[in-house]
Structure 1
Amino acid sequence: MLAAYAASTSPTDPLSGLVVGERPAPEPRESWTVVDVRAASLNHHDLWSLRGVGLPDEALPMILGTDAAGVTPDGREVVVHGVIGADGHGVGPRERRTLLSEKYPGTLAEQVAVPTANLIDKPASLSFAEAACLPTAWLTAYSLLFRAADLRPGNSVLVQGAGGGVSSAAIALGVAAGLEVFATSRSAEKRERAAALGATTLEPGARLPRKVDAVVETVGRATWAHSAASVRPGGTIAVAGATTGDADAAQLTRIFFQEIRVQGVTMGRREDLAALLAFLGAHDLRPTIALEVPLAETARGIELLAEGTHFGKVVVLP
C-alpha cells in the first residue's frame, strides 16, 4: 500500500527523511481492526518525529500520522482515536501509552490498524476530511479547555499563537461554549481569522484588559512569560506543546506566589473524543481546513506545517 513514512530522521532537515512509497499493508490481529483511510491530518507530532524526537532509529521505517477517518471492512464510517495502550484495549493492560506512528504504524497510508475499541462512529454531518482533523488537535483543545482548565460558560481564556490546529480549535470551541476568548498572533491575517471566529485578538505580549481564568499554551518559550503574567491568581495554564522550545525561565516565583496551576495535556480519552463529536453536532461546528493534499504530496503539507503560515488543519487524502 502507499504510505508516507520516516525512513530516517534529522534535527535540522526533517523533510530529508520523508518517503512516500510502498509499505506492507497491516495484517489482521485479534481485537484490532484494519481501517481503509479516507482522510488523515497532519500534526506537529509528524514534524517532530521526522526530527527524531520520540522516534528512535530502531523504530524506522515508521509510517507517520496520528489522525484518520475511514471505513471498516463491514462498512462502518469511523474516526480513529490514536492513543494506544494505558487501558489495555487490544494491547494488554501493562503496555505504556503511545501514539500511532511511535510504536505502531500511523495513519498517513491507505490503511491503518488500530484496536477496535479506538474506533468512534463518524457523524454523518462531518466529511471524512473534517473528521480527520479532530482526534489530535481538536481533541487536545477540548481537553485543554474543559478537562485541564475546567472552564465554564462566562469564564475567560487566552489562546496563545492563533493559527495552528490546536489554537484555532480552542478558539472555536471556546466561543461556542460561551467563554470570553482572547487570542494572540504575530500575523495580522491570523488575528483577523481569529477575530472572525469570535476572539478578541492581540499582538504577542500585549497586556490584556484583565487577567484570564486560564491560558491555552502550545507555543512555549516565545509566549510562556506572557502566559504566566496573564492568568489570574489561582488560574490554570493548560499546556499541550512547545513549538518554540522550552521556556528559558519557568516563572516559578510568580507561579507559586499566585498559586497558578500548570496542567499538561496529551490529546484525550476516547470518551472525550465522543463528547467532542457530540459538541460539534450540537453547535454545528466544522474544523477549519487550511489545505488538502493527496498522499503523494505529503511533503508539501509538512512544509506548510513547518512554515507555520497557515490557519487551521492540513489534510492528507490517500
Structure 2
Amino acid sequence: MFAVYAAEPSPQDPLAALRIGERPEPVAPEGWVRVSVRAASLNMHDLWTLRGVGIKPDQFPMTLGCDGAGVLEDGTEVVLHSVIGDPSWSGEETLDPKRTLLTEKHQGSFADTIVVPARNALPKPAALSFAEGACMGTAWLTAYRMLFVKSGLRPGQTMLVQGASGGVSTALIQLGRAAGYRVWVTGRSEEKRALAEELGAHATFESGARLPERVDAVFETVGKATWSHSMKALKPGGIIVISGSTSGPDADAELNRLFFLQLRVVGSTMGTREELADLLRFCEISGVRPKIGAELPLERAEEGFRAMLDGETAGKIVFTR
C-alpha cells in the first residue's frame, strides 16, 4: 500500500528520514479494525518521530500520522483516537503508564489503510468532512482538554494563547471564542496575528508584549521562548496549562513568582476517547470547524512537513487520499 513513513531516526535533519512509497498492508489483530484512510493531519509529533523522539530504534520503519478519518469495511465513517492503552488498564487512558500514541509503537495514518483497536474508531458526524474530522484526534483534542478539562475557566474570563498559528493554538482560539471566553493571542508576525483575529481572537499582541491587563489563564505549547512572559501575564491565582514545549523545555521556572502569587501550572496530554466524542459533538452543535491551512494529496506530504519544520503554518496541514 502507499504510505509516508520514517525510515530511521534522524535527530539533526528530520526530513532526511522521510520516505514516500510502498509499505506492507497491515493485518488487524483480534479486536482491531481496518480503516481506509480518507484524510490525515500533520502534527508536530510526526517531526519528533522523524527525529527519533518517543520511539525505539527497532520500531523503524514507522508509518507516520497520529490522527485521521476514514471508512470502516462496513462503510461506517470514523474519526481516529490516537491514544492506545494497555488492554488491562481500567482508568483514564491518558494516565496509563503503558499508553502509546500511533507512530510510537503502532503504524500511523499516512497510508491507504490503518488498523486500530475497535474503540479507537469513533463515528464521524455527518456535518464534518473527512479533512475536518482528521484534525480532531490530536491537536483539537489536546486543545479541548486543556481548555475545558484542565483550566477551570468560566465564560467571560480572559485567556491568553501563546503562539498564533499552530494546530493546537488555532483550536484553542476557535474553541475559546465559541465557549464565551475573552481570547487574547500572541504571534511573531502580523500575518500570524491576523490569522488569529480571523479565527475569533478578541485581541492580538506581538510575542512578549506587555498586555493591557493580566489574564486568568495562559495556554502554553511553546515553552522556553514564551515561559517568562506567560508567568508575568497571569493574575494572582491564575493558571498556566501546558501541553508542549516546541522551543525547548529548559525554561526558568520563576519559582518566586509562582509561590508568591499562588500561580498554578498544570500539565495536559492529549485526551480521552470520551473527550474526543464530546469534542466531535461540540463541533457538530456549535458549527465550529478547524482552520485548515493547507490540504495536499498524500503524495505531496514532504511539502507539508517542510512547512511545519519552517514554522510556516496557518492552521492544520491535512493530507488526503
Residue 17 of structure 2 corresponds to residue 17 of structure 1? yes
Q: Which of 225, 228, 248 is the aligned partner of 2:251? A: 248
Q: Which position in structure 2 is the counterpart of 1:292?
A: 295
Distance 2:280 2:87 in 1: 21
Q: Tell me if structure 2 keeps the 8 A contact 1:88–1:95.
A: no
Q: Tell me if structure 2 keeps the 8 A contact 1:152–1:177.
A: no
Shift in CA distance, 197/95, structure 1 to aligned 2, threshold 3 Å: closer
Q: Which position in structure 1 is the counterpart of 2:116?
A: 114
- AA partner of residue 291 (structure 1): A
Residue 224 of structure 2 corresponds to residue 214 of structure 1? no
Listed as ranges, the gaps of 5+ residues in structure 1 are none
Instruction: Report the TM-score when normalising by structure 1.
Output: 0.96
Distance 2:260 2:121 in 1: 44
Q: Tell me if structure 1 keeps the 8 A contact 2:185–2:205.
A: yes
Q: Which of 191, 194, 197 is the aligned partner of 2:193? A: 191
Residue 18 of structure 2 corresponds to residue 32 of structure 1? no
Matched ranges for 1:81-230 at <5 A: 81-86=81-86, 88=88, 96-199=98-201, 200-230=203-233
Q: Which position in structure 1 is the counterpart of 2:320?
A: 317
Q: Which position in structure 1 is the counterpart of 2:4?
A: 4
Distance 1:258 1:86 in 2: 40
Shift in CA distance, 316/153, structure 1 to aligned 2, threshold 3 Å: same
Among the aligned pairs, what percent are the same residue?
A: 53
Q: Tell me if structure 2 keeps the 8 A contact 1:224–1:247.
A: no
Deviations 1:60-86 (A, max 9, x none): 111111111000011100000000005
Instruction: Report the TM-score when normalising by structure 2.
Output: 0.95
Deviation of the 1:175 alpha carbon: 0.4
Secondary structure, aligned partner of 1:310: coil
Q: Which position in structure 2 is the counterpart of 1:259?
A: 262
Secondary structure, aligned partner of 2:49: helix
| Superposition CA RMSD, Å | 1.6
Shift in CA distance, 269/87, structure 1 to aligned 2, threshold 3 Å: farther
Count of residues in Structure 1 that have an aligned counterpart in Structure 2: 316
- AA partner of residue 10 (structure 2): S
Q: Tell me if structure 2 keeps the 8 A contact 1:46–1:64.
A: yes
Deviation of the 1:95 alpha carbon: 7.1
Distance 1:136 1:260 in 2: 27
